[in-house]
């Protein structure tokens, strides 16, 4: 059972997500929050598998909630999907770097919202090719570049696979290019995440572009 928390200051948004979650087999609503402080307390208390977290909320915005959850070892397994009204770059870059598993606009198709829950609960990320391309372009400009600790711990194969991950390729696509099995790709991706301290695949993309592997 995937346990989900919904944090948004708009009652209609919360009601829509609640209704959607309650109709999906294998998914359970673990709680709701209407502001950032309430969201932080709820997430730290129930430690859900997935959180729909609005970026703009009263008392504490979603990015600050994300920062605190990402820094809390007790919440290491919590996966956060940021909810936005507009796909704004300044939010995208900061949230990905902080540890968000992806983004969805609030008027996304219901099937996309439910798919997102399963994808991030399984350790995946919600990065469309267009978002990945913009992340690469932003870091390539040097405006947001930062050194990546422990990059020297990666093997050459792990670096190679990180380059493919940063291009938006799936495990199956990477396996086809490198003529290895998807399971082997997953193993290399997991090892790279552990060595670099990446919470999930989305943050691994950020580390790849920051380090210049792309």
* pLDDT tens by residue, 103-162: 888 878 888 888 889 988 887 777 655 566 666 566 556 555 566 778 888 999 999 998
168 vs 38: CA distance, rounded Å: 34
> Do residues 8 and 69 share a domain?
yes
Q: What is the pTM of this model?
A: 0.72
* Percent with pLDDT over 90 in the chain: 43
* Of 11, 86, 5, residue with least CA distance to 43: 5
| Last residue in a domain, options 137, 169, 191 | 137
> Do residues 118 and 173 share a domain?
no
Q: Which residues pair with 84 in a beta bridge?
A: 105
What confidence tier does 36 reach under pLDDT thresholds 50, 70, 90?
Answer: very high
> Do residues 34 and 100 share a domain?
yes
| Last residue in a domain, options 137, 153, 175 | 137
């Amino acid at each position: 059972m995937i346990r989900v928390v919904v944090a948004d200051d708009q009652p209609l948004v919360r009601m829509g997500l609640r209704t959607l979650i309650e109709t999906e087999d294998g998914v359970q609503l673990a709680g709701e929050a209407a502001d950032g402080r309430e969201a932080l307390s709820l997430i730290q208390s129930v430690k859900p598998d997935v959180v729909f977290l609005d970026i703009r909320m009263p008392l504490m915005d979603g990015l600050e909630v994300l920062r605190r959850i990402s820094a809390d070892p007790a919440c290491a397994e919590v996966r956060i999907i940021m909810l936005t009204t507009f796909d704004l770059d300044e939010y995208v870059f900061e949230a990905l770097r902080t540890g968000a598993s992806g983004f969805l606009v609030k008027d996304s198709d219901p099937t996309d919202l439910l798919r997102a829950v399963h994808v991030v609960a399984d350790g995946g990320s919600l990065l469309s090719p267009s978002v990945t391309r913009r992340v690469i372009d932003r870091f390539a400009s040097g405006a947001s570049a930062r050194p990546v600790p422990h990059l020297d711990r990666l093997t050459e194969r792990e670096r190679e696979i990180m380059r493919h991950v940063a291009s938006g390729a799936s495990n199956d696509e990477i396996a086809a290019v490198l003529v290895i099995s998807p399971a082997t790709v997953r193993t290399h991706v997991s090892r790279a995440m552990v060595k670099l301290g990446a919470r999930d695949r989305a943050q691994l993309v950020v580390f790849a572009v920051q380090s210049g592997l792309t």
